[in-house]
Each structure stands twice: as structure tokens, then as C-alpha cells.
Amino acid sequence: MFVPCNRGGGSASPDFKGFTLLMPAVSVGNVGQLAIDLVISTLDMTKVGYFYTDCLVPMVGNNPYATGEENSVELSINAEVYSLPSKKLVVLQIRSPFIKNKYRPFCQALLSWVKSSKCARVVVLSSSHAYQRDDEQLLGTPLRYLLTPDLEKAVGGLMQELNWKEMEKVAAYPGINDTEKILHIPGGGITKLLFTESCSKGIQMAVLLKFCSEGDNIPDAFALVNYLNEWLQLIKSDVSSNDSTDTSSQWKIPSSWRLLFGNGLPPALF
Amino acid sequence: MATFFGEVVVAPSRAGVDDESAEEACEETPEDREIRRELEKKREVDVLWTLKSGAPAGSCAGEPFACSKFIVAIGRNAAAFLSSFILDSVCWEVVGVVKLWNEWCRTSNTTNVLPTDSFCLFYRLISDPTVLLCQCSCYVAEDQQFQWLEKVFGCMQKEGLQVTILSTCPVADYKTQESTLTLTSPFLKALKTKEFKEQVCCPLLEQPNIVRDLPAA
């Protein structure tokens, strides 16, 4: 599944032992993927490989994080892995949707790669349909987290200190039987499957998600990546600003975010 | 998309994952599994080679064959380009065909095709049998693209192989600062791997444009 890039020197597979794997779920508004783009672009991460998989729709383009002529011609495909050893961080970016019936094999292959590469923990950035919130969820923060039992032991306390809100469970049979509660993440793509599989496989996984709707999801991506930063401290917060958790201005928007909402207009229209 | 007053249009989510189908998959009965298996078999991609004259058509068995250049034309426009400017019955011979079915098209294993048919044929340059050409005017569905790729390239020696992919996209899909109305079309753009050292005959595809489907695969 994972194919390392040859970068001159050694062709050995990079070592991710003890690293944190950060990845998106393809979910409503593509918020997780946009947030991952911000992380890769801001931290100037190096591509170390890709996933050779038949589970995602194929796509290819030139380097989405290009900053100039010299680095704009490297090909980029649908599932690529970037790393920043100084922060023990490895990031997977997924750029296309799943092919029908292929999301389960992908989850299985991914989690087995997580185990074999000995990543310490996995953080999944995701989102869920805002219109499915109940009355209580409509108030307060739209950001939620989930921790597998193994990670709960390690960082559960920190989440309390950060005053984060855990994703609520919903009734399995609403209106009929309110006692049986299940986890439900509508619009979250593979988030729930990854989380439940990680619980049963003893993988340390955290899910960070935001309630949102389809539209201009750039502000949602910033909110999610700032939420992540409260925990992982990937970039320093700007101490001079009033709100010490607002780091919006310090995330670097990649060049591929140009023209997200279409081309320029023909002058003849007016 | 314009709608009339009162029409409710369900906008598909960009997430592209249908949660309901995710739940249903857990409750698959043996009959569902059987149906799914039959459908998968129907959607299988068969690559039939007739490389040695006189030998029966068959899938690639045994050693991969030598190939120095492989030109693939995907889509009706690219296939028509090859038919008009490159292919002829004197210099090129048919050496293979792909048989597949999906909701958009069906190909057959006949090599005698009309330009309006959906087909996927392989040709070899008679004067240099390591030069191969593929005309793929049929649509290869998402779930068949990887299979096509593995079965076709699985039969070739990849050492020293140069692959050229020809394809077309609508100008309306091209993302640019100006409006596409003012662009002179058609125009060429290219993508290349870092191993490709030769001169490219046209500008490279700028961000944020991408290529998808079989050419991307």
C-alpha cells in the first residue's frame, strides 16, 4: 500500500515509529482535507511517499503546494504521505472520493499500515452535517472530539483541561427507545468506521470534527486546524493578539486553493 | 443548474460518501453477496492479446513482452487523432483488444470496429514491434480503471519504457484567472513525471487544474 519516494541517498522506507499520523476523512465540506492542506503547506512538509491503492478515484496534477517555478512541476496524486521528523509528525492527504464498496478495504489496509509502521497514534480530522445537530448541539462550540480507550488513558485529562466537548452519542432508535445510544457521524465518511475499528484493534486514535455544511468551507478548515493546534501545538499562537488561540493569520494557504469557486467572468457579461 | 420555483434540489455532498450504504453493507445477506459477486464478474476487464500471428487470442501468460514506447489515446477525440494521423494498415497491426462492460458502454473482442463504436484496441508498429499504441474510445468506469491498468501494464516489461498518454478535456473545466470564453481553444497542456527528461512540446498544466479517471490512473 505505502510506496516510499526515492529521494537520492537512501532508498530505505522512512521510519514512522512513535510518530503521530494526521489524516483527513473525506467528509462534508471536505473540511478535514482542507485543514490537512493548511498543515502541510504551513509546515512546509516533505513528501515521503504515496499509497498505491485501487480504493480512490484516480487523479493527478502538479504540486499543489508550489511556491515558485522551481517546485511547481512535481506530480501529485490522490493519496500522499508527508513527514516532519522534527515534530514526529507524518501526514496523509487524500484528494479524491472512495470508489463504491472500496472504503472498507481501504480502512483495513490503512489501519494495518498504521500498525506495521508503528505509529504511536492517529488523529483524524473530519466533519459532520450541521443540520443533523439536536437542540443542545446547536448551542456552543461546533467542534467535537473522540478518543479510543487506549488514547483516553494517555490524553483524556488534557482534553478536560482544554475544555473540549466530546461527541455525543445518539439514540439508536429515536422516539422508540432512548436508552440504547450509538455513535453517529452523518456526513463523516469513513470516520466512524475508522474509529470503531481502532477501538477494537487497540489503536490510539483521536477524531477531531466540526459541524458544518457544504459551501465556502475555508473558515471551517481554519477553525478545525486551530482546534488541532490547541492540542498538538504545531505552530505557535500569536501572543500579541487578544485571542491567544487565534492563529488564522499564521497558516499558509496553498497555491492550489486559487479559483475554488470558478474562473474569472467574461467581460462581455456586463 | 437552474431550477423552477418550488423545486427542491438535493445538493450532493462533496464528501461523496453515502452513509446509508455504509450501514447497509453491514447487513448484507448471502443473496446480496452473491449479487454483488455476479456484478463484479460482469464488470471485469478482459485484456486479450494476439501478439504471435497464428497463436490463439489469450490473456497475458508467461513472460511480459518487450516494450520501448507505449502511446495511449483515451477518449473519442484522442482515438480519432490516432486514426486520422498515425494509424494505417500498412505500418501497424492489431495485437490486442480489451473487452469490458459498464453502464455507459460495452466493447467486444472483435477487432473489426467502426469509428462510432466503443472499443479499446492495441496496435504494434510492424517495423519496430516494441512500439505499442492503444486506442481507447470506450469509457472505463472508476471501479475498472485500476484493473485496466494492472492487466495492461502487467503484460509489459517496464524497464526503459516510455509512456505517452493523449487525452482531451472540455475547455469549460479549465481553471484560469480569466474567463474561458476569451481563451483560444483548442490548446495543449502537459503533465510529466520527473523521470521524463525530454523536451515537452507544450506548457505544463498549471495548478489548480487536475486530470482524473483513466488518464490519471
What does R_g of chain B's alpha carbons equal in angstroms? Answer: 21
Contact B205 A62 (CB under 8 A): yes
Query: In this predicted structure, what is the pLDDT of residue A73?
Result: 83
CA distance A59 to chain B (A): 4
Please say if the pLDDT value at position B55 is more than 50: no
Q: Please state the φ and ψ torsions of residue B65, each to the nearest 5 degrees.
A: -90, 155
Higher pLDDT, B57 or A201: A201
Round to whole Å and give the CA distance between B189 and B201: 9
**Nearest-CB residue to B15 (from A30, A63, A258):** A30
- CB burial of A209-245 (b: ≥16 within 10 Å; e: otherwise) equals bbbbebeebeebbbbbbbbbbbbeebbebeeeeeeee
pLDDT in tens, A5-64: 875 545 567 889 999 999 999 999 999 999 999 999 999 999 999 999 999 999 999 999
Interface residue A246 vs chain B (CB under 8 A): no
Contact A102 B217 (CB under 8 A): no
pLDDT in tens, B179-199: 777 788 889 999 999 888 888
Among chain B residues, the shortest Cα distance to A5 is held by B194
- Mean pLDDT is lowest, of A142-146, A238-242, B104-108, for A238-242
Please say if the pLDDT value at position B4 is more than 60: no
Round to whole Å and give the CA distance between B139 and B146: 13
DSSP annotation string for A27-73: -GGGHHHHHHHHHHHHTTPEEEEEE--SSB--EEEE-TT--SGGGS-
Closest CA relative to residue A26, chosen from A80, A100, A103, A90 = A103
| Top CATH class, A22-235 | alpha beta
Q: What mean pLDDT is predicted for residues A189-194?
A: 94
Contact A266 B179 (CB under 8 A): yes
Among chain B residues, the shortest Cα distance to A102 is held by B143
- Residue A30: list chain B partners with CB under 8 A: 14-15
Contact B210 A60 (CB under 8 A): yes
Q: Best residue in B17, B35, B176, B195 to probe A by mutation, most A CBs within 10 Å?
A: B17
Chain centroid, CA B27 distance in Å: 34
Higher pLDDT, A112 or A262: A112
pLDDT in tens, A161-185: 999 999 999 888 878 877 888 999 9
If contacts are CB pairs under 8 Å, which of residues 180-209 in chain B contact chain A? 180-182, 191-194, 204-209
Number of H helices, E strands in chain B: 5, 7
If contacts are CB pairs under 8 Å, which of residues 13-72 in chain B contact chain A? 13-17, 19, 21-22, 25, 36
Query: In this predicted structure, what is the pLDDT of residue B1?
Result: 44
Which residues neighbour B162 within 8 Å (Cβ) at sequence distance 6 or greater? B68, B69, B70, B196
Tell me the pLDDT band of B3, cut-offs 50, 70 and 90.
low
Contact B181 A266 (CB under 8 A): yes
- Residue A100: list chain B partners with CB under 8 A: 21, 142-143
Contact A103 B179 (CB under 8 A): no
Round to whole Å and give the CA distance between A123 and A212: 19
Contact by Cβ (8 Å): A103, B22 = yes
CA distance B52 to chain A (A): 32
Q: Where are the domains of chain B?
A: 37-107+114-168
Q: Before B208, cis peptide (omega within 30)?
A: yes
- CB burial of A38-69 (b: ≥16 within 10 Å; e: otherwise) equals bbbbbbebebbbbbebbbbbbbbbbbbbbeee
Contact A58 B147 (CB under 8 A): no
Contact B207 A61 (CB under 8 A): yes
**Average per-residue pLDDT in chain B?**
82
pLDDT in tens, B125-175: 999 989 999 999 999 999 999 999 999 998 888 888 999 999 999 888 888
ipTM of the complex: 0.81
Among chain A residues, the shortest Cα distance to B206 is held by A62
Q: Best residue in B179, B207, B212, B214 to probe A by mutation, most A CBs within 10 Å?
A: B207
Contact B216 A193 (CB under 8 A): no
Please say if the pLDDT value at position B22 is more than 60: no
Phi-psi region of A189 (alpha: psi -120 to 50; beta: other; left: phi over 0): left
Query: In this predicted structure, what is the pLDDT of residue B26?
Result: 55
Q: Is the pTM of this model over 0.80?
A: yes
Q: What mean pLDDT is predicted for residues A132-157?
A: 92
